[in-house]
Amino acid sequence: MDLYIEIAAVLFNVAYVLLAARESIWCWPLGILGSGLSIWLFIIAGLYAESVLFTYYVFMGFYGWFAWSRSSANSGIEIRTWNWQVHFAVLTGGFIGSYGVYAALVNFTDAQMPLLDAYTTVFSFIATWMVAKRVLENWVYWIAIDALTIYLYFSRELYIYAVLSAAYTVIAFYGYAAWYKSYINTQRKFDGSS
């Protein structure tokens, strides 16, 4: 039974990432479904921070769906970038938050691989928020996160999720290229140089 749930979750989650890379609003409902199924699997596997993360994904799915609907109805969805100072602050906060989650996992749970679980979880919170806010660099964060989760999932015998993370890593490169192209096209229109 868990295998079928894992397969369904993977299919929904892959569809989410592919549609997000293509800037389709339909990524959000599929992400909600995939994340909902994933919560159960991570609780069984003892990856509690991951189950909390996927609960967050469900809520962010609704937020992203609303935000993208509103943006496209009003003025179009515009991709933005952050300067290095913002990224430095985000990374610093992410590392501090990761240590806090790690400490909680070590002291209050029987979590497996708590340090890696904490880092991938906290930075996934950040990167998901960046997707909803249409920040181009979210894909760079996802490349690093997805590469780390390959090992995390493989070590917990969640082989399908490990393969999913490998696919996500590749899709994140595609997502960055697609969003970058869209960003450049928007900048050209704004600058009047098209």
Looking at the predicted structure, is the pLDDT value of residue 162 above 60? yes
pLDDT of residue 137: 97
Range(s) of the domain holding residue 140: 2-191
| pLDDT for 16 beyond 90 | yes
For position 83, what pLDDT does the model report? 96
Residue count of the chain, please give it. Answer: 194
Task: Write down the pLDDT at residue 194.
Answer: 47
**DSSP-derived 3-state class of residue 156:** coil
Q: 24 — alpha (psi -120 to 50), left (phi > 0) or beta?
A: beta
Are 122 and 97 in contact by the 8 Å Cβ rule? The answer is yes
Which residue, 22, 53, 37, 86, is CA-closest to 152? 53
Residue 96's pLDDT is 97
Whether the predicted pLDDT of 178 surpasses 50: yes
| Residue 192 pLDDT grade (very low, low, confident, very high; cuts 50, 70, 90) | low
- Contact of 66 with 72, CB cutoff 8 Å: no
What mean pLDDT value characterizes the chain?
88
Question: What would the pLDDT profile of 118-141 be if each residue is shown by its tens digit?
Answer: 999 899 999 999 998 999 999 999
Q: Is the pLDDT of residue 7 over 70?
A: yes
Residue 180 has pLDDT above 90, yes or no: yes
Q: Which amino acid is at 10?
A: V
The predicted model gives 167-186 an average pLDDT of 92
Its pTM stands at 0.82
Give me the number of domains the chain comprises.
1
CB 72 within 8 A of CB 50: no
| pLDDT surpasses 90 at 72 | no
163 touches 145 (CB < 8 A):
no
